[in-house]
Every structure is written in C-alpha cells, then in structure tokens.
Amino acid sequence: MTELLNFILVPVVVSYALVMAMLFVYVSNYFYLAWLSWRKRSLRKSMAPRKMEAWPQVTVQLPIYNEWYVAERLIDSAAALDYPCDLFEIQVLDDSTDETFSLIHEKVKELCTRGVNIVHLHRTERTGFKAGALAQGLAQARGEYVAIFDADFMPRPDFLRRTIPHFENDRVAFVQARWGHLNRDYSLLTYLQSLSLDAHFAIDQLARAASGYFFNFNGTAGVWRKSAILDAGGWRADTLTEDLDLSYRVFLRGWSARYVADVEVPAELPVSFTAYRRQQHRWARGGLECAVRYIPVIWRTRLPFAHKLQATLHLTTYGLHFLTLALIFLYPILLVLAKPYPTLLQPIGIGLFLNVLVLAPTIYFVIAQKLLRRRWFMDLPLIFLMSIFSSGMILNTLRAGLQILRRREIPFERTPKYGITRRDQSWNKSRYHVKIDSLVVFEIALACLNLWTAWMAWRTDHLLMMIYAFLFAVGLFFTSGSTLLQSLSYRISPSR
C-alpha cells in the first residue's frame, strides 16, 4: 500500500497543482472583468449613438418551432415596433410541426389586413434547425439590417430606434441588447437563472465589448448587418450555438460589434428543471465546439496577447465544470495521501486562496446586481446558493464534452416555454414537457461521493476541504433532487 501511495503521490500532486493554477486564472479573470465593467459602467453615456438623418431598411426575423404558448405574444410585440412602415418587414420563420403553424397563420393573416408588412415562411423540413431557418429568411430579406428575436422574447416598441443608430461605423457587424426577465420571481430556479444571466450581461458583455475583446451575439435581442453575415460565410448549423460561431467568424474577418446595456429586452426564463438542463447542455456543447474550432485559429492571428487570452477564456467558460469534477475525484485521494504525508494539504497560503475561491462567485454576482441597481444584501443567501448551483451541472457538461470527443451528432433541441409571467400561473398541464434525464442518477451518486469525502475531511481535521466537498454535494443534490421532485409533481398532477 505504501509503495502504491508513493507511486501516485507525484502525479496526484502535479494534477492538483495544475487544476488549482487553472482555477486561479479563471477566478482572477472574473475579478478582472468585474473591475473592467465597474470602471466602464458610465460608458453608456459616452457611447450615445448619433442622431439618424435617414433610417435604413430593417428585416425582423422571428424563428419559431412549436411555441404554442408564446408565438402570438412574440408576433404582436414585433408588429408593435415603432419604425417607419415602408422600411420595416417581419419574417416569421416557422418550423412548427404542431398547431402552432395554424396559430401563426391566422395571426399573420390578421396583421396583414391591418397593413403590417409581415410574411409567414413555413418549412416542412427542419434542415439546419434555427440556423437553417435564419439562412433561408436572410436569402429573402430586403433589409440592410436584420433584427432577431426568439419566441420567448418581447421587444419594446423603441428597440429598433435605440439600436440601429449604433451602426454608425461601417465595420460594426452586430448590436447586442441586454436580456431582461419576465418571470424573475416566479420560482427559485428562475431567480437563480436571472442572477447568472445578469452577471453575463452586466459584467462579461459590457467588459469585453468596451475593451475591444471578442464577445458573442446571444442568439436573440440583437441586430445584424446583413453584409457582415454574408461576408463571414452566413449562418451555419454545424455547431449547437450558431450565434457564438458566427460572432467569432465576423470578428476574425475584422468586423467589430456593439453592446448596448441600456436597451433591455424582457424574456421568459425556463420554469422546468429538465428544460433548463437541456438548455445548459446545448450551450455547453456549442461553446466547446466553438472552442475546439476557433482557439487554434485565434492563436495564429496577430491579435494582441490579451485578446487571445480573453477569447480563450471566453470560449472555455464551461471548462470550469471539468476543473470542478477533477477536484471532486482528487479530494479523496489527497485525503488518503495526507495520512503518510501530513504536510501535503498544509502549504503556506493555501487556506487563504481557497477562501477566495469559494467567495469569488458570490462577489461576482453581487457586483452584477449593483451594476444593474438591484437589491442584493437581503438576497445574499440566495446569491451564495447560485455560487454552488453550477456544480450541479458538471455531469451535464461532461456529457457534452464526451459527445464531442466521440463525434456524436445530436439535434438542436429548443428550450420550451409556457407563457409564464406571473407567480399564480401553472404549467403542469401544459404541452412540451421534457422527459426526465437519467443523468440525475449519476448526479446523486456523485453527490454521495462528495458527502463521503466531506466526512473523511472532517474526521482528519481538513475542514476547508470538508466545506468544499459538502458544497459540491449540495449543488448536485439540489439540481438532481429538484429535477426529480418537479418531474414527480408533473406525473401525479390531477390536472393532467
């Protein structure tokens, strides 16, 4: 046994050191972006767009696939956009295979009789999924600019008048607005999602855009210059995040982009845990696909080192889940090794560093809430819960990575919405329910492993490691348990 421990000592310690070093880079970058966003928070005033002398032709694209509950709401919002009628057209890009098709057909017919320039483009085959629908619509679009809204969004009437002027430079490829939340306070799940998205838009997008780094179009609530899309090769469906893919292609072609934090577009957050898990899996896989594709290309360019590093960290954001998983399996091995080597887990300063790591996400989310001028102190326990909530998604991300390694192709799966905007609304008897993911069984098993690790750490007085392992277990139990309970509630609901 002693020989075995001696044999694995060096590789385990080296692996642990590498994981901690990479975590340090990511955490340091979070603080760097937060500092940038705080410093740039007044940028919205200095970047006020020019006054328009003549408004350009704009096409509004609404990609929809089986969205019975929200399709009509979206189309009405698009039709209410305040823009010159002769310079404005709406394309409803409909891939629906259920009654949503008839609902859209009647709504478009009604709006046409009212003089709205709107067309219903229905595909019988969903080739290329959302990217394919956008590409087909683009081929028929008359607009010089193309605004895109997913089915769960509700753009305000002044959206185009506040975003189009930001194309003052001929090399601006797209303008991205900030996402708002129609049902932020509906449930704990929607509130935690809002914290994550708020941090992305208030910190990540603002800091990267204001500093000239690559950042991404978020798939919706934004406007594209049509010529930029065509110059970069158009919409492609060979990744699950066609928006991120196109964003990097336009940047690599020398285009720039704008992020307008003051323009908020409210959207409905997923209320179903299984739907949320599907969404996160799609984002993780698409992000990792783009990382594999573009990181080597980026490092061969003549971009400044800081731009290359930021693009790499941006594309590998979900890599944090792999580092967390590595720690989960390294902890029990380190605890075993600590018996014959008592000083192994007591290097100078490691305790302080680990405390910074556990507090970093909380500080990050608090800064985002302050930037958006939202309350945060009374919600601090929930914000801390958000810090460990992501650990429940690590196996979800691992599966995405394994699928890429195995080159397994999977279809684009949308995140269903149910038109939920108030707390008194129920969705248990709604259609589009996503089947429970068998991955929850492995998440529960991994949570139990973390509890065992926490117990081992407590027995050997390694209290900091005990806290980490326990928090990992809480995140995994929260995600898997909530998914199971929600699914069970749906199955036994008498209203079904």
Residue numbers annotated as active site: 95, 243
**What's the full length of the chain, in residues?**
496
Q: How far is CA 488 from the centre of its chain?
A: 27
Closest Cα partner for 403 from 274, 252, 240? 240
Cβ neighbours of residue 299 under 8 Å, at least 6 residues apart?
A: 308, 312
Backbone angles phi, psi at 269, to 5 degrees: -85, 145
What does the alpha-carbon distance between residue 421 and residue 309 come to, in Å, rounded to a whole number? 39
* CA–CA separation, 361 and 56 (whole Å): 42
Q: How far apart are CA 468 and CA 448, in angstroms?
A: 14
Contact between 323 and 394 (Cβ < 8 Å): no
What's the CA gap between 284 and 263, in Å, rounded?
A: 26
Give strand ranges (E) for 213-360: 222-225, 256-267
**Tokens coding 366:** 């608090």
Q: How many CB atoms lie within 10 A of CB 56?
A: 14
Beta carbons of 463 and 358 less than 8 angstroms apart: no
Q: Which DSSP letter does residue 121 get?
A: E
Rg (CA), the chain: 24
DSSP 420: -
SS3 content of the chain, % helix, strand, coil (to 5): 55, 10, 35
Q: What's the token pair of residue 472?
A: 């990992």
Q: What is the DSSP letter of 238?
A: S
Q: What is the DSSP letter of 119?
A: E
Spatial neighbors of 474 by CB under 8 A, at least 6 apart, are 388
Angle at 362 between CA 360 and CA 363, to 5 degrees: 65
Cα distances from 253 to residues 231, 232, 403, 457, in angstroms, run 8, 7, 29, 52
CA separation, residue 315 to residues 173, 239, 296 (Å) = 20, 13, 12
Tell me the C-alpha to C-alpha distance, in Å, between residue 319 and each of 131, 288, 289, 392: 25, 8, 12, 14
